[in-house]
Amino acid sequence: MELNRKIFKTELDGEEISIEVSELAGQTNASVIGKHGNTVVLATVVMGSEDRPGDFFPLTVDYEERFYAAGKIIGSRFVRREGRPSDEATLSARLIDRAIRPLFDHRLRRETHVVVTVLSYDELHDPDIIGLLSVSAALHISDIPWNGPVAGAKSIKKDEDGGLISKAFFAGPEKCVNMIELEGDELSESDAASIFRELFAKIPALVSFQNEIRKSIGKQKVNVIPEDNEDILRTKIKKIIDPEILKAFQEKRGEELKKKVMEGVVADENLKNKADKALAIFEEEVDAFIHREILEFGRRVDGRKFNEIRPLHSEVGLFSITHGSGLFIRGGTQVLAITTLGPSSAEQMVETMETTGKKRFMLHYNFPGFAVGESGRSRGPGRREIGHGALAAKALTAMIPKKEDFPYTIRVVAETLSSNGSSSMASTCAACLSLMDAGVPIRKHVAGIAIGLILDESGTNYKILTDIQGPEDHYGDMDFKVAGTEDGITAIQMDVKIKGITEPIFTEAIKQAKDARLEIIGVMKKALPAARKNVSPYAPKIVKLMIPADKIGAVIGPGGKNINGIIAASMNKISIDIEEDGTVYVSGVDMELVERACKTITASVKEYKVGEIINGRVIKILDFGAIVDLGGGRDGMIHVSELKEGFVKKVEDVVNLGDEVVAKIVKADPDGRIGLSLKNLI
């Protein structure tokens, strides 16, 4: 059987990229195998055969990590297959979704499923880059209606010491950018604009490459977009909403107006079976209203100026038992963040296709239904929660102290109590306050803001909006989140509903975001000017020791006997973590117990020298001498001949069990045996 392989090649950053189309996965609408270096992905796209009910476009993007791709067998002892997607895989799926979604006609009601399966990973070439390109190529050559192609480019910049300066991924069609992920260490606005230009310049060639593939093997696109022939229905809806829409959104009664429209449609005998279409038309009319109000009349639905932030409020230290807490409110968005500090043993072990290691700083974001007034059972974190938490963590990472300066594992949980616009950026602010309240030496305050865009159909008339709320987020054209300190940007994330944005819009948006960020930081500083000097009394205290790496075994002991004994002596109220280089972290809430354990560890690796004076307690009497406890599981022996000058008939004539003695070391063998003398002290 012939697979009829057709291979197309191009270059990115001087390296070959290939797209292969064949009979593999032949029951899809299209499939391609993309290769960048030795990283290989399979991208498949499938569209359902019938329209689904509802008022939204049913697109799903899945990113499937395969451990075999990196030559790994991981999992639990009893389960050695892939389970639910890792957070990293979920973020990769979101990245691809955000780049391709704006280019679909959202009137499409056919279920569309995109799957990226990583077949090989060489640890050098990011699967996200070739994954997005392969998905775009598959959609472009398929019969699925789509207005692509798109492509993405990535850059990583580090300083001389290997520290991160910036990491960015930009994607979009030929003439604009529609998706941004950026992490930086206080980048200036001009630096961010430079990255925009650098990565945007790489996109057109990859788009042209895909156009050439489509010319060669592309299928005819099917016409499955529902026709808009609902003039009677649209007229009825407009008659209901036009007199009320401005007041309804000014008074935050948009849902009430939607309900009134649906009741009016259902009550009409000729229209009652068109509920889905009525919802879609209502959304279109509200979208047009929001655009018209801003572009033609220069007014936001809540009356704010285009660069105006809603009322702000910050608090810290809300609870006495938790290690740190911060509350941040911006308009109708409220986030409570709680920080917990733990020892090194609390670090999260991360095992994915791309990564094996430990995570010391964790930020988990929760979004319960009550935050938007909805009832229903709470479920685990979904893609949105994972994405928002990752963004807030990215915004703060540059300010998190290094382990050698602050040897704690740090976990922040951001609880969204109410949401009306950018709870992820509110989480960044609340988390920063919470960390500072916990005594984490954050160098500077970090704040975030969401910037919106209203653009006309020509693409020339637009308004940029600071601090977008519900309607502006839902019906606007851009969600542009920027976080950073007073001195620079630490994170940017952008999604759009249009084809994309150009550099002038990007530059204006980050400038407007800076002004807002400075205003928010001013409010945060009033709640807490700087990180607290000490951690909470309820947080563990950590002492760092350094021991010779070849002495680690002596501290641990056979089968962990020594280290477990030290912990047991503290009534299991301390934790001891030893790293391969000999770094030891001793932690516990009771500082006295921590210090006692530190002394024991130090004693266990101490190198004794002849002539040194020691203090110890007699723990055993033998016929020929006495054993003295030196601490740390070490002991020395006073031979009967070293007890005093002259003949000693019986050891107990000089020392007894339990006596505290001062002795001089007279022998220190390489094998650890210590000889002591009392008589040589005289």
Q: Are 389 and 362 in contact (CB under 8 A)?
A: no
Instruction: Please give the structure tokens belonging to residue 414.
Output: 């951001």
Q: Are 451 and 143 in contact (CB under 8 A)?
A: no
Show the beta-strand stretches assigned E in 4-149. Answer: 6-12, 15-21, 30-36, 39-51, 59-64, 110-120
Beta-carbon contacts of residue 460 (< 8 Å; ≥ 6 apart): none
Task: Return d(Cα 326, Cα 105) in angstroms, integer.
Answer: 42
Task: Return d(Cα 255, Cα 257) in angstroms, integer.
Answer: 5
* 3 state DSSP class of 114: strand
Kindly provide the b/e burial profile for residues 10-25, where b requires at least 16 CB atoms within 10 angstroms of the residue's own CB: bebeeeebebbbeeeb
Strands 462-466 and 447-455: antiparallel
Q: Look at the alpha carbons of 166, 171, 176, 181 in this order and tell me if their dihedral is positive or negative.
A: negative
- What separation, in Å, do the N-terminal and C-terminal C-alpha atoms of the chain show? 97
Q: Are 170 and 196 in contact (CB under 8 A)?
A: yes
Task: Return d(Cα 491, Cα 396) in angstroms, integer.
Answer: 8
Task: Return d(Cα 124, Cα 122) in angstroms, integer.
Answer: 5
* Residue at token pair 């004539």: 653
Annotated binding residues: 473, 479
Task: Return d(Cα 96, Cα 64) in angstroms, integer.
Answer: 12
Give the residue among 570, 553, 571 at the shortest CA–CA distance from 562.
Answer: 553
Distance of CA 388 to the CA centre of its chain: 8
Beta-carbon contacts of residue 143 (< 8 Å; ≥ 6 apart): 29, 30, 47, 219, 220, 221, 222
Question: Hey, what's the torsion of the CAs at 421, 425, 429, 431, to 10 degrees?
Answer: 110
Q: Which DSSP category does 47 fall into? A: E
Q: What is the CA radius of gyration of the chain?
A: 33
Annotated binding residues for Mg(2+): 473, 479
Task: Return d(Cα 446, Cα 430) in angstroms, integer.
Answer: 9
Instruction: Please give the structure tokens belonging to residue 372.
Output: 């938007």
Q: Look at the alpha carbons of 509, 514, 517, 519 in this order and tell me if their dihedral is positive or negative.
A: negative
